[in-house]
Amino acid sequence: MFILCKRLFPALFLFLWFTVSHAQGGYELWLNYRKTENPETLEHYRTHLLSVVMDENSETVDAIREELSTGLGLMLDSTVSFISEIPEKNSLVIRKTENLPSGLRNTLKKDIATIENDGFLIRASGNTVIITARKDVGLLYGTFRLLHHLQQGLPLRNLRILDIPKTDIRVLNHWDNLDRTVERGYAGASIWKWHRLPGYIDPRYKDYARANASVGINGTVLTNVNASALVLTPAYIEKVAALAEVFRPYGIKVYLTARFSAPMEIGGLQTADPLDPGVRQWWRDKVDEIYKTIPDFGGFLVKANSEGQPGPQNYGRSHVDGANMMAEAMAPHGGIVMWRAFVYSEHDTTDRAKQAYNEFVPLDGKFMENVLVQVKNGAIDFQPREPFHPMFGAMPHTPLMMEFQMTQEYLGFSTHLVFLPKLYEEVLQSDTYRHGKGSLVARVVDGTLDNKKISGMAGVANIGSDINWTGHPFAQANWYGFGRLAWDPYLSASQIADEWLRLTFTNDNNFIKPVKNIMLESHETVVDYMTPLGLHHIMDTGHHYGPGPWVGNLSRPEWNPVYYHKADTAGIGFDRTPSGSNATAQYAGEVAATFNNVKTCPEKFLLWFHHLPWDYKLQSGNTLWDGLGIRYQEGVNRVREAQKTWAVMEPYVNKQQFEEVRMLLGIQHEEAQWWRDACMLYFQTFSKQPFPEEMETPLHSLEYYRSLKFPYAPGISPQWH
Ligand code: GCV
């Protein structure tokens, strides 16, 4: 016995250490199943949910059973029994609509008639709670939703949740390289351990799938859009297949990025011309080979003729030629092609903000049915704030996918607390006016504006090997929020913040209210201390961390911050009205008119669309110069307020997470000051005016800020080679 104890003790200790440190570190994400605190609620849940009727068989049903054993087991602090007969007394029934007993089917028939696709119904009826759906994956989504309901301590009485995803493709984009670096990744290394696959299945893969499925994400593009053709070789396809197997029960398909020149790099061909019969055959064979190994493979994501990536234009062909060639290979298997519209060229001297629209809109209606064009939320590049991309609504015959960024490339990496669903909401709720008032971007994305057959939303992942997955504990909320909005682009950021806080930390309103406030203000805060009043792309070169408004020596003009702010002694801002680049003409008339008129242009986009004198009067009555300084200061002030709020939150979160957020807010505060001082000192060289009295005196000189260098900033893999 003693010997056994001696042997077991270190193992037990290790296990406990691992479990505790993971729990403390936020590994569980929002699937943090805590025992239900309120004794009445606990009793109420126990009465209804401890017998679970589940008699269907599939990998997905097994995953549901496992999730319920863990989730209900922990929240109800009891063991769940799974049975196959519906008992007289209380139970939770999980069955597809076709397998419900006729009595129940009859009672629920109105709701059942409206369940489509991956949707589900949760209903409390008599002494049972029912989760039903057309497909197994719908049952899985319903199960997670019920678990989330319980995590929030909400009542079961009269429960009725009927929810159907509004988009078809809800997909993460990993910018993960095969060497496990992550382009614009700030949460450690890639979670894909390519060198160990397919033999070694890291437990994280399943937890990743659980987290995604719990918010309805149904696909993942495993590799960087700056793609390596190697991932299409047999050895890697086998590794991809191993991941696909882990994800399959959770309704998650795998996709890969396809390097356009792959037929030459790994196929030995002399060309990658999309009209060349040999090249077309190569792609058909390659796709057949992939489907042989991964029968439910999702398809390809392609970055072509963008930032040096190869593409059809290398052969004088168009995006349509390239995308349709791959789509043709995919079609017999039901696969899709997501073709990115993030293009701008060093040979095109027009405003960068106009180039994607100019290249793609004339191609509307020419893509095959299984092609989606994937468009970033704004026309430049994931800036802290951008007006919605003018392509949304401008291609009525082509499905357009939204591409949001969860990783915080231009947003303080995973050091700054920024709740991105606020940004997503602002974009999705923007009105394109393409079919009159109410033509929201959300309606373009869900396909209802022009009756699209397929729709989708992509999110550039912020996930890495850090214990808490996302680096900043609050960056998990961006992953959660992306998933929720991909499922339903009309959800409010406020609801999402509320849910995420409750699932992740506690239901105590003394915590929820103030911390939710920090989250909801955080986007405006970061905009204020980085790029207020419509400024954009003034980050330092390459790593995009910290301010670099002075940078003007890069080889391509549109890579330089000076190209975007155009500060001079007369004023500041990019004139995109008809007197300037006329980018506003790419929007519907109503929108263009609003942006063109400096009096109606929302001040948040003022310097995006207008070059204005330093003494221009803002709505507040302040001059533009003073208003700019006041905004920068307000951003700093709000980080200070967030610090104060967080300082009294220790009782509600675990020690480790409390400390992590406290320290990160400290850095964010210092860096908000850095942004304010560096930008205002630099712009002062043009405005030649004193700082407004509301603004604190800069802590250092402009020379000091200009001298700062960050050669090893994370996220830019080429520098490490
Ligand atoms: C993956 C920006 C980023 C690049 C990124 C690119 C893209 O330019 O800085 O790192 O490349 O966008 O979205 O393709």
- Give 210-257 pLDDT, tens digit per residue: 999 999 999 999 999 999 999 999 999 999 999 999 999 999 999 999
Q: What are the structure tokens assigned to 356, written together?
A: 């994607």
Do 96 and 115 touch, CB atoms closer than 8 A?
no
Q: Helix 234-247 and helix 203-214: axis angle, to 10°?
A: 60
Which has the closest alpha carbon to 642: 546, 526, 509?
A: 526
Measured CA to CA, the distance from residue 169 to residue 186 in angstroms comes to: 25
525 CA distance to ligand 1 middle (Å): 24
Please state the pTM of the whole predicted model: 0.96
- Split at pLDDT 50, 70, 90, the class of 77 is very high
189 CA distance to ligand 1 middle (Å): 18
- The predicted structure's pLDDT at residue 347: 85
- The predicted structure's pLDDT at residue 20: 52
Measured CA to CA, the distance from residue 471 to residue 462 in angstroms comes to: 8
End-to-end CA distance of the chain: 54
- The predicted structure's pLDDT at residue 86: 85
Q: What is the pLDDT of residues 606-661, one digit of tens each?
A: 999 999 999 999 999 999 999 999 999 999 999 999 999 999 999 999 999 999 99
Q: What are the structure tokens assigned to 399, written together?
A: 């499905």
Contacts of 660 (CB under 8 A, 6+ apart): 468, 472, 473
**Residue 489 identity (one-letter amino acid):** P
Report which ligand 1 atom has the smallest distance to the Cα of 376.
13
Phi–psi pair at 292, nearest 5 degrees: -60, -35
Give the three-state DSSP class for 118: coil
Active site residues: 307, 381, 409
Give the three-state DSSP class for 672: helix
Contacts of 270 (CB under 8 A, 6+ apart): 264
Do 243 and 194 touch, CB atoms closer than 8 A?
no
Residue closest via CA to ligand 1's atom 12 equals: 381
| Percent with pLDDT over 70 in the chain | 96
Cis ω on the peptide bond leading into residue 198 (within 30° of 0)? yes
Q: What are the structure tokens assigned to 221, written together?
A: 């593009």
Q: Where are the beta strands (DSSP E) in 598-672?
A: 612-613
- Angle formed at CA 277 by CA 272 and CA 280, multiple of 5 degrees: 60
Residue 17 above 50 pLDDT? no
Contacts of 489 (CB under 8 A, 6+ apart): 166, 167, 402, 428, 442, 445, 446, 457
The 3-class secondary structure across 148-211, one letter per residue, is HHHHCCCCCCCCEEEECCCCCEEEEECCECCCCCECCCCCCCCCCCCCCCCCCCCHHHHHHHHH
224 CA distance to ligand 1 middle (Å): 10
Phi–psi pair at 455, nearest 5 degrees: -145, 165
Q: Look at the alpha carbons of 276, 278, 281, 282 in this order and tell me if their dihedral is positive or negative.
A: negative
Give the three-state DSSP class for 289: helix
DSSP 212-268: HHHTT--EEE-S-SS--GGGGSHHHHHHHHHHHHHHGGGT-EEEEE--TTHHHHTT-
Do 405 and 412 touch, CB atoms closer than 8 A?
no
- Angle formed at CA 67 by CA 65 and CA 71, multiple of 5 degrees: 120
Residues with CB under 6 A from ligand 1: 175, 183-184, 225-226, 303, 307, 342, 381, 409
**Residue 298 identity (one-letter amino acid):** G
| Pairing between β-strand 160-163 and β-strand 120-125 as defined by DSSP bridges | antiparallel
| Pairing between β-strand 169-173 and β-strand 371-376 as defined by DSSP bridges | unpaired
Task: Give Rg (Cα) of the chain.
Answer: 26
Do 329 and 352 touch, CB atoms closer than 8 A?
no
Burial class for 110, CB neighbours closer than 10 Å (0-12, 13-18, 19+): exposed
- The predicted structure's pLDDT at residue 346: 79
Q: What is the pLDDT of residues 384-413, one digit of tens each?
A: 999 999 999 999 999 999 999 999 999 999
544 CA distance to ligand 1 middle (Å): 11
Report which ligand 1 atom has the smallest distance to the Cα of 460.
13
Half-sphere exposure of 698 (CA within 13 A, CB side): 21
Report which ligand 1 atom has the smallest distance to the Cα of 226.
1
Pick from 303, 339, 342 the residue to mutate for probing ligand 1's pocket: most ligand atoms within 8 Å of its CB.
Answer: 342
- CA torsion, ordered 107, 111, 112, 117, to nearest 10 deg: -170
409 CA distance to ligand 1 middle (Å): 9
Measured CA to CA, the distance from residue 184 to residue 407 in angstroms comes to: 7
Residue closest via CA to ligand 1's atom 11 equals: 226
Contacts of 188 (CB under 8 A, 6+ apart): 464, 465, 466, 471
Q: Look at the alpha carbons of 392, 395, 400, 403 in this order and tell me if their dihedral is positive or negative.
A: negative
- Split at pLDDT 50, 70, 90, the class of 78 is very high
- The predicted structure's pLDDT at residue 312: 98
**Residue 418 identity (one-letter amino acid):** V
Pick from 173, 174, 175 the residue to mutate for probing ligand 1's pocket: most ligand atoms within 8 Å of its CB.
Answer: 175
Question: Tokens 């996930």 identify what position?
Answer: 463
Measured CA to CA, the distance from residue 493 to residue 495 in angstroms comes to: 5
More confident residue, 714 or 172: 172
Pick from 176, 177, 181, 184 the residue to mutate for probing ligand 1's pocket: most ligand atoms within 8 Å of its CB.
Answer: 184
Report which ligand 1 atom has the smallest distance to the Cα of 309.
14
- Split at pLDDT 50, 70, 90, the class of 721 is very low
Residue closest via CA to ligand 1's atom 13 equals: 342
668 CA distance to ligand 1 middle (Å): 24
- Split at pLDDT 50, 70, 90, the class of 22 is low
